[in-house]
Structure 1
């Protein structure tokens, strides 16, 4: 089965979703990227006027150093890519290559990367809100585990597997209703995901997430802190993300090292099928992807959220979906390559 055919087969159960993003602070190991105007760090929303503002596509990389951490930044279409690392060359490479991967894309995007092994982070528009689509599903399972522990009933285990591994929406709503919004909000509070906003009408895929908050979730799941979920609970959730079915392992896993364990969850939706005249809502696709890469010398997480993946007139809907997927995978391939092959990372690679 071709990649296009397998991707088309996934889309049917996601069309009721939308996307926007929220924000949280990840410490020294974070990356966020987007192709439109960036919101100030102190705000959680971005105006339409700000999003339409366009700065020069990119400018020269600016660098400085503080306490043995190299900081680099580069302007990109109204935003700023910022990377920090103990490895100066790696910070420069990531900033440059993230900019290259996005500078010719029409998608709006946000990206967050953290890497514990190299003490590296990059951010670009980490705090912009997107509709979550199916990237909310690990949050729902996290809330279930926080409320009931890892010893779930057979029915709950079956629903959890369907929700994460095959992204089944009926199973998701069954768990959403069972856990309840109060317990889901409690999990978000405990996890420090302060800028993730549940949809008041109860549409799980319209949960507002940010790349920074989603990366914070990955850090929680792959870390050693037992204050929210214990080791057994984290292992259970990551195991399901590692088992995500093959035709849904696109996006941030693209270009990941072959000897690593890759835990992934993607989300996709078409905001409107009515081709509204509002330029903000013209039937574009929202395509999101998040992965935790672990094992051997790897311990990093990557989140890429996108929107504005337009469907041109007289084109099939999957054109916008494919465009968003290509945007995500372009960013992912650049980041995986730099983390795997850059000198002094201590990882096997093709130098």
Structure 2
């Protein structure tokens, strides 16, 4: 996989000062010896070590529980932290919903109606919950699960009772989803992939925070975020990002919970994102990097009422 004569570097570093992982059942505190590590591999000399160091610095003294997935096709670089830890999806599941819908339609060569096109655009670009509920009900649990199986997202568990925002997700599966969306494969058609990326590129400015922070402006930025407060484990704040063009081709997932408020989670994600973009595109000047233009405002609950 790594090619003839390529030496694969593997680097891990413990992330300090993070709240130990506590399950929904209230499991006990993890021991220091069990502290998860950021693990990076790369075909490019020195890159894994630099990412390990800079991601660790970005997370130093940050509270909450953070999971990270990164893959850069150009340098064959991968980083992962808490790859199998489950989180409530909040609105990042909307990308899965759209992918499942297009996958289902692909089997019968069916196209989205004009009404469905409007709903899909609202769901992704504005994080519209009513549109998501419409598609979730339309698909039903059986079709959603069939798509997850086809996509090999085997650890993703759809929210029950219509609560799509409580779908359980993890880094490994979200990275698989981004891999499907950003490269030719047998699960999604090229037209479906292009359509999903187009909508993720058109997300409204107030929701373009998170993974894009610090990205080279020469890349085409695709993003979908999610945020949700609950009585346990505080705020869930997540971000999916894919970056293509200008000689770049990589994607990043950051999942968090245990945040005191939404903006705290956003700040944690953006600290990680800036470190990643700086290391993957070191020659990009500060003036040529994307900066979110607005601070997230308000709450869009990712769980349907009732």
Match of 1:331 among 250, 269, 272: 272
TM-score by length of 1: 0.73
| Deviating 4+ runs (over 2 angstroms) | 31-39, 45-50, 52-56, 348-351
Aligned partner of 1:130 in structure 2 is 87
Structure 1 residue 325: deviation in Å?
0.6
Change (3 A) 1:96 1:47: farther
SS at match of 1:180: helix
What is the CA deviation profile of residues 76-131 of structure 1, one whole-angstrom value per residue up to 9, with x for unaligned ones? x8111100001231111000011111121012100000000010011110110000
Are 1:232 and 2:173 counterparts?
Answer: no
Q: CA RMSD in A?
A: 2.5
SS at match of 1:88: coil
**Aligned mates of 2:150, 2:180 — CA distance in 1:** 10
Within 5 Å, which residues of 2 pair with 1:1-351?
35-37=18-20, 48-49=26-27, 52-53=29-30, 55=32, 78-149=35-106, 151-225=111-185, 227-272=186-231, 281=232, 284-310=234-260, 320-341=261-282, 348-350=283-285
**Aligned mates of 1:247, 1:129 — CA distance in 2:** 27
TM-score by length of 2: 0.83
Does the CA-based 8 Å contact 2:13-2:52 persist in structure 1?
no
Structure 1 residue 179: deviation in Å?
1.6
Structure 1 residue 37: deviation in Å?
4.7
* Runs (5+) with no aligned partner, structure 1: 1-27, 40-44, 57-76, 273-280, 311-319, 342-347
**Aligned mates of 1:268, 1:289 — CA distance in 2:** 9
Change (3 A) 1:265 1:322: same
Figure out how many residues of one structure are paired with residues of the other and give that number: 272
* Runs (5+) with no aligned partner, structure 2: 1-8, 287-306
